[in-house]
Amino acid sequence: MKSFSDRVLEWCDVHGRKNLPWQRNLTPYRVWVSEIMLQQTQVATVIPYFERFMARFPDVVALADADQDDVLHLWAGLGYYARARNLHAAAQTIRDRFSGEFPRDFETVNALPGVGRSTAAAILSLACGQRHAILDGNVKRVLARHAAVEGWPGESRIAAKLWEISESRLPQQRVAPFNQAMMDLGATLCTRGRPRCEACPVAADCIAKHESRQAEFPGRKKRVALPERNVEMLLLEYHGKVLLEKRPPVGIWGGLWSLPETEDSAAWLAARSADAHGVVELESFTHTFSHFRLHIRPMHVRLNDVPGNVTDAETGWYDAASPPALGIAAPVQRILETFSAIMMNGERDGTHG
């Protein structure tokens, strides 16, 4: 039987993905941006975001010089916004410390905000041909099944074992296509549900396949019930525009623009002596994060005047007729779209105001 790497490379030559946007005009910068976007997000979702991002920020310096609002605006909808903030911060580090030239040293790349060992390895192997093993989510699944590695890969002991296996499988030559093929295997054949083992080049000696235990690997984190939180989001309208506030740079939706939040809209308005002539509860909905579930009650408040002490945060007015290029979280964007529909219907019916 041929070696593991030889079989993977032969499969890659025929079936591997070779025309993804970041594989064209291959540079460390383009691979880096794609790898950050691909963390927690599938390829099909990433492609249009990547293409818009490259059109706006074609190189490291363009990204570093951009305002964070511009970066977050183009990221809006991808989620996990710390990725965008770290990407921006890392670009500024590269601009300031390396004159805008993406570093080629592993330890330097590994230390950039939001990168880490596997991402650094992917950048330097795929874009620079350096010999580094990778271990992203797809590769973890392939190796955990092939070697029947018990346990959740998030545990340091299990991760160390998988890293050891990944290093041992790495060929001496053609590291870039091998690493790309390993990611492709996990994404297209060795999927979480219904793996296509009949088409897999390494199925012959895959322990999970041999024992019909594919569903057991990789091990899963013990499930716990997600905490539930409730919030009212205030859609404060004044002359057809909505007040937005900028969230703190860290935490949920860090650095994004959002709506003021409270547990009790009536008390919030009373505390600010807000002069309002209508408070209407819009349709509630739930947004699920990785670590809690947020139940959102949007409250549409029409103001006669703007209180001077409305919020301590940086604020701005959102005009639905000419939306500004701001980073806005998906649930907030959903509420703003509802508001836009209300405005359009109200204007048509002559009932607004």
* pLDDT value of position 347: 47
Q: What is the CATH number of the domain that holds 151?
A: 1.10.340.30
Answer yes or no: do 192 and 269 share one domain.
no
Tokens 């490259």, residue located:
54
Answer yes or no: do 159 and 193 share one domain.
yes
Decide which of 291 and 6 is more confident: 6
Q: Which of 183, 216, 249 is the last residue of a domain?
A: 216
Task: Report which of 236, 333, 318, 308 is spatially closest to residue 277, judged by C-alpha positions.
Answer: 236
Specify if 222 maps to a domain. Answer: no
Answer yes or no: do 207 and 250 share one domain.
no
Answer yes or no: do 8 and 146 share one domain.
yes
Answer yes or no: do 70 and 210 share one domain.
yes
Answer yes or no: do 239 and 141 share one domain.
no
Which structure tokens are listed for 204? 């012959």
Answer yes or no: do 107 and 158 share one domain.
yes
Sign of CA dihedral 129, 132, 135, 138: positive
Answer yes or no: do 234 and 190 share one domain.
no
Which structure tokens are listed for 227? 């905490």
Q: Which of 187, 216, 245 is the last residue of a domain?
A: 216
Answer yes or no: do 281 and 331 share one domain.
yes
* pLDDT value of position 353: 44
Name the residue range of residue 43's domain. Answer: 4-216
Q: Are strands 257-258 and 241-246 parallel, antiparallel or unpaired?
A: antiparallel
- The answer to whether 144 and 218 have CB atoms below 8 angstroms apart is yes
Tokens 């091998």, residue located:
178
pTM of the predicted protein model: 0.88
Q: Could you tell me how many helices (H) and strands (E) the chain has, helices first?
A: 14, 8
Burial environment of residue 179 by CB neighbours within 10 A (0 to 12, 13 to 18, 19 or more): buried
- Distance (Å, rounded) from C-alpha 187 to C-alpha 193? 11
- Distance (Å, rounded) from C-alpha 91 to C-alpha 70? 14
Strand-pair partners of 237: 242, 302
Specify if 221 maps to a domain. Answer: no
Specify if 184 maps to a domain. Answer: yes
Number of structural domains (the chain) is 2
* pLDDT value of position 321: 80
Tokens 């009932």, residue located:
351
Q: What is the CATH number of the domain that holds 338?
A: 3.90.79.10
Q: How many CA atoms lie within 13 A of 45 on its CB side?
A: 12
Specify if 223 maps to a domain. Answer: no
Per-residue pLDDT at 346 exceeds 90: no
Specify if 304 maps to a domain. Answer: yes
Answer yes or no: do 141 and 250 share one domain.
no
- Distance (Å, rounded) from C-alpha 169 to C-alpha 145? 14
Q: Which of 190, 216, 242 is the last residue of a domain?
A: 216
Specify if 309 maps to a domain. Answer: yes
Print the SS3 string covering 237-293. Answer: EECCEEEEEECCCCCCCCCCEECCEECCHHHHHHHCCCCEEEEEECCCEEEECCCCE
Burial environment of residue 167 by CB neighbours within 10 A (0 to 12, 13 to 18, 19 or more): exposed
For the annotated catalytic residues, the residue numbers are 35
Tokens 């219907």, residue located:
345
Residue by residue, DSSP assigns 76-140 as: TTS--THHHHHHHHHHHHHHHHHTTPPP--HHHHHTSTT--HHHHHHHHHHHH--------HHHH
Answer yes or no: do 208 and 243 share one domain.
no
Task: Report which of 184, 87, 205 is spatially closest to residue 136, judged by C-alpha positions.
Answer: 184
Answer yes or no: do 149 and 84 share one domain.
yes
- Distance (Å, rounded) from C-alpha 296 to C-alpha 231? 5
In angstroms, what CA-CA distances link 23 with 16, 38, 74, 127, 160?
12, 14, 21, 9, 29
Type of residue found at 135: L
Q: pLDDT tens-digit profile of 128-175?
A: 999 999 999 999 999 999 999 999 999 999 999 999 999 999 999 999
Split at pLDDT 50, 70, 90, the class of 352 is very low
Region 85-91: mean pLDDT is 98
Specify if 47 maps to a domain. Answer: yes
Q: pLDDT tens-digit profile of 215-250?
A: 999 999 888 899 999 999 999 999 999 999 999 988
